[in-house]
Amino acid sequence: MKNIEVKVYSTSWCPSCDYAKRLLDEKNIPYENINIEQKGWSREDLFNLTGGRTVPQIVINGKSIGGYDDLLKLASENKLKF
């Protein structure tokens, strides 16, 4: 298993954020959850970090992969094995 770093930028009210975290949990992939509300970050701050303004934004090894749908696509293509 490679050393992998996954970050999930989320909010407390976002169902897709919960789905993304649940999928990562089911795959036993550790991740850092970063709640942008708790950090006081705006959507512009999120865009500057990840290139996306919607939550969740998922970053794997420093590369933004997008949101939950993008994560689900990687999982369905069996590309989430690290």
Domains in the chain (CATH in brackets) are: 6-76 (3.40.30.10)
CA angle at 12 for the pair 73 and 44, rounded to the nearest 5°: 75
Per-residue confidence (pLDDT) for residue 82, from 0 to 100: 65
pTM of the predicted protein model: 0.93
- 81 pLDDT higher than 80: no
Per-residue confidence (pLDDT) for residue 2, from 0 to 100: 63
For the chain, the three-class secondary structure string (H helix, E strand, C coil) is CCCCCEEEEECCCCHHHHHHHHHHHHCCCCCEEEEHHHHCCCHHHHHHHHCCCCCCEEEECCEEEECHHHHHHHHHCCCCCC
d(CA 82, CA 80): 6
